[in-house]
A = this chain, B = another copy of it.
Amino acid sequence: MTDRSVPVLPPTGPVRPLGLAQVSITGGFWGRRQTVNATATLSHCEAWMERLGWLANFDRVADGTTGPDRPGWSFSDSEVYKLLEALAWETGRTGDPGAEAAIKRLTARIGRAQDPDGYLNTCFGHGEQPPRYSDLEMGHELYNTGHLLQAAVARLRTSGEDDLVRIARRAADHVCRTFGPDGNPGICGHPEIEVGLAELGRALGEERYVEQARLFLDRRGHGTLRDIPLGRAYFQDDIPIRRADVWRGHAVRALYLTAAAVDVAVELGDDELLRAVERQWERSVARRTYITGGMGSRHQDEGFGEDWELPPDRAYCETCAGVASIMVSWRLYLATGDVRYTDLIERTLYNVIATSPSTDGRAFFYANPLHQRTPGRPADADEVSPRAEAGVRAAWFDVSCCPTNVARTLASLEGYLATADDDGLQIHQYAPGAVRAELPGGRQVAVDVETDYPKSGTVRVRITADAASPWTLSLRVPAWAAGATLTEDGRARPVEPGMVEVRRAFRAGEVITLELPMEPRFTWPDPRIDAVRGCVAVERGPEVLCAESHDLPHPGGLDALAIDPLSSPQAVPGGARVRALLPAHPDRPWPYRLSAAPPEHAEWLDVPLRPYHSWARRGPSSMRIWLPVCTSPEGA
């Protein structure tokens, strides 16, 4: 039985994803965040979009009263669609009637704004607005539509065909008519329509939609769009995706495009395209990705930098790029079964996605730098942040793509935890809950997962259904987890990173225990990452840790911190501590000197480190992940 309540459902592949019908999360690290998402973030997003007039934009189109000066950027419609997608997953996850009501409420308003030919956009084509598709480079029309289609996929797969799905179908038909082989030869400056078309095509069995996605993909990279000051690499129109070696330009654009490329490659059996994407993933992950999994080194274009250009302080690491990276890696995992993709998903979940929302789910990081030099100013919960880089979580943004992106990811998180194949279950991410699936021949397999991971590294998988014949339980051992052990029948054995398999005719009540080593560890950067030369990071399990000014004796401490590289980080509850000096550095009129300045004498002290995702939760702070090491460990 295929669980269709998943964001991505490829027709083929070594494994099939399990969705909200077969996977549950009942608490723990992610369960808490899902609850906050459901009870706070979803209504928070709707309220802000109402307040700012982004919802009323649809009403004004319906009433014929809209104009060129409507509130919001040209992509504000997409926020409504991403919220709808999140709501749809939430109803699938919990059946929440509030979410269901919100879907109906929003769908009705959106539907009234759709033109008879299926075109649906509040920024173009009505009244005095610029004509449809008159600014493909920056107008985001097809981008908005792509998010509508993704919302419809979520609705279709968690509830069934309804008005939202019919709206999306009409919109998709309009896109195929308008941009088909004999139509407008353009593409959208911001990829997203492609991934929406591909999945809606799958969900509705409409091959035309997948074919249109392929057409958009193949049109791109030939200078199809007008050049802009940031260059065509900004929107990946510089090189055809089949020929590119690495991700470049605007990170979210690059990654949404890549997600669609995997969909199209798998759908059409296009191995050349799949290999091109794998090659790009490999080089981008090896040379253009932060230790947090964050992507995007540059503020200027919200984009990837060059190889090894990974500044921690000016890291952009947009939350949405984290969401998009997970979209790409999950598709690649489903296409290949390679655990490197689910490893990166874990890293990104704990260190980008978990970092963005505040504890109360009503404020968000947009950029996720690895080094904050000066504390941000306390955010006003009633204010729209004009900037992505405040150093504090903001209630809403002028460009507010991240809150709804986090919301849809958290609401569909069950869909990224486990897969099945003909021989058993694969569990990729660990959270307390249950996983079940039906194997060929009607064989039911089911397990409960008991863990407080990543608080501890103990993951107990309890079999909850007797099996008449052998099946295979596969558990991901993360790449960082050297020294992990697996215990079955009371016997522990060492296991290597990768997938560890246990195969037999399991009986209900049997417990398999995976023990992941959670001692904090030093992690060293490749010497070619210039910006963190002479520094070390500390990781604990899947979490990257950081030092925060709250925990240092004086505010300038983070500028001067020097870690003893010969010591080891010591575990403390929830984090670690490291041995360090906080020497004073005298101010000089010119910061370049004939001799390397030895630090002034300082005492060794223990500096606490906490998970990066928790930074600035105690108030604005300065913070750093990469910690300079003493060049002379005994100090001056």
Residue on B nearest A227 in the bound complex, by CB: B386
Q: Which chain A residues in 519-554 approach chain B with CB under 8 Å?
A: 521-537
Cα distance A560–B287 in the bound complex, in angstroms: 14
Given contacts A479-B590, A529-B591, A596 and B524 within 8 Å (CB-CB): yes
On whether the beta carbons of B306 and A585 are closer than 8 Å, the reply is no
Cβ-defined partner of A590 (8 Å) among B285, B588, B594: B285
Number of copies: 2
On whether the beta carbons of A527 and B307 are closer than 8 Å, the reply is no
Cα distance A107–B295 in the bound complex, in angstroms: 52
On whether the beta carbons of B227 and A291 are closer than 8 Å, the reply is no
Q: Which chain A residues in 442-493 approach chain B with CB under 8 Å?
A: 479, 482
On whether the beta carbons of A286 and B590 are closer than 8 Å, the reply is yes
Chain B residue contacts of A522, Cβ below 8 A: 594
Chain B residue contacts of A535, Cβ below 8 A: 530, 533
Chain B residue contacts of A596, Cβ below 8 A: 524, 536, 565
Residue on B nearest A526 in the bound complex, by CB: B591
Smallest CB separation, A236 vs chain B (Å): 17
Q: Which chain A residues in 249-304 approach chain B with CB under 8 Å?
A: 282, 285-287, 289, 291, 298-300
Chain B residue contacts of A595, Cβ below 8 A: 524
Cα distance A631–B629 in the bound complex, in angstroms: 12
Smallest CB separation, A614 vs chain B (Å): 20
> Which residue of A314, A482, A535, A594 has the most chain B CB atoms within 10 A of its CB atom?
A314
Q: State whether the Cβ of A162 lies closer than 8 Å to any Cβ in chain B.
A: no
Residue on B nearest A313 in the bound complex, by CB: B309
Q: State whether the Cβ of A503 lies closer than 8 Å to any Cβ in chain B.
A: no
On whether the beta carbons of B530 and A306 are closer than 8 Å, the reply is no
On whether the beta carbons of A594 and B524 are closer than 8 Å, the reply is yes
Cα distance A444–B80 in the bound complex, in angstroms: 80
Residue on B nearest A306 in the bound complex, by CB: B373
Cα distance A584–B259 in the bound complex, in angstroms: 34
Smallest CB separation, A168 vs chain B (Å): 32
On whether the beta carbons of B560 and A591 are closer than 8 Å, the reply is no
On whether the beta carbons of B373 and A628 are closer than 8 Å, the reply is no
Q: Which chain A residues in 585-613 approach chain B with CB under 8 Å?
A: 585, 587-597, 599
Q: State whether the Cβ of A619 lies closer than 8 Å to any Cβ in chain B.
A: no
On whether the beta carbons of B298 and A314 are closer than 8 Å, the reply is yes
Q: Mark A502-528, 1 if CB is under 8 A from B, else 0.
A: 000000000000000000011111111
Chain B residue contacts of A231, Cβ below 8 A: 386-387
Cα distance A592–B559 in the bound complex, in angstroms: 23
Q: State whether the Cβ of A340 lies closer than 8 Å to any Cβ in chain B.
A: yes
Q: Number of contact residues on A: which range applies?
A: 35 or more
Smallest CB separation, A338 vs chain B (Å): 11
Q: Which chain A residues in 383-415 approach chain B with CB under 8 Å?
A: 386-387, 398
Given contacts A314-B311, A398-B229, A340 and B589 within 8 Å (CB-CB): yes
> Which residue of A313, A527, A559, A594 has the most chain B CB atoms within 10 A of its CB atom?
A527
Chain B residue contacts of A340, Cβ below 8 A: 589
Chain B residue contacts of A534, Cβ below 8 A: 533-534
On whether the beta carbons of B229 and A387 are closer than 8 Å, the reply is yes
Given contacts A285-B589, A479-B590, A534-B533, A628 and B527 within 8 Å (CB-CB): yes
Q: State whether the Cβ of A12 lies closer than 8 Å to any Cβ in chain B.
A: no
Cα distance A231–B373 in the bound complex, in angstroms: 18
Chain B residue contacts of A311, Cβ below 8 A: 311, 314, 531
Q: Which chain A residues in 302-332 approach chain B with CB under 8 Å?
A: 305-309, 311-314
On whether the beta carbons of A530 and B589 are closer than 8 Å, the reply is no
Chain B residue contacts of A536, Cβ below 8 A: 596
Q: Mark A559-576, 1 if CB is under 8 A from B, else 0.
A: 110100100000000000
Cβ-defined partner of A560 (8 Å) among B298, B528, B628: B528
Q: State whether the Cβ of A129 lies closer than 8 Å to any Cβ in chain B.
A: no
Q: State whether the Cβ of A371 lies closer than 8 Å to any Cβ in chain B.
A: yes
Q: Which chain A residues in 187-206 approach chain B with CB under 8 Å?
A: none
On whether the beta carbons of B286 and A589 are closer than 8 Å, the reply is yes
Given contacts A314-B298, A587-B286, A530 and B593 within 8 Å (CB-CB): no
Q: State whether the Cβ of A374 lies closer than 8 Å to any Cβ in chain B.
A: yes
On whether the beta carbons of B374 and A306 are closer than 8 Å, the reply is yes
Q: Which chain A residues in 10-25 approach chain B with CB under 8 Å?
A: none
Residue on B nearest A624 in the bound complex, by CB: B530
A-B contact pairs, 30 of them (CB 8 A): A230-B387, A231-B387, A286-B587, A286-B588, A286-B591, A291-B592, A298-B299, A299-B299, A300-B300, A306-B373, A308-B373, A311-B311, A311-B531, A314-B314, A340-B589, A371-B530, A479-B590, A521-B594, A522-B594, A523-B592, A524-B594, A524-B596, A526-B588, A526-B593, A526-B597, A527-B562, A528-B560, A530-B535, A533-B534, A534-B534
Q: Give chain A's interface residues, CB within 8 Å of chain B.
A: 227-231, 282, 285-287, 289, 291, 298-300, 305-309, 311-314, 340, 371, 373-374, 386-387, 398, 479, 482, 521-537, 559-560, 562, 565, 585, 587-597, 599, 626, 628, 631
Top-6 shortest CB links A-B? A526-B591, A534-B534, A533-B534, A524-B596, A299-B300, A306-B373
Given A231-B386, A286-B588, A287-B591, 15 more A-B residue pairs with CB atoms under 8 Å apart are A231-B387, A289-B591, A298-B299, A309-B314, A309-B373, A312-B530, A314-B314, A522-B594, A524-B593, A524-B594, A526-B591, A527-B597, A528-B559, A531-B531, A533-B533
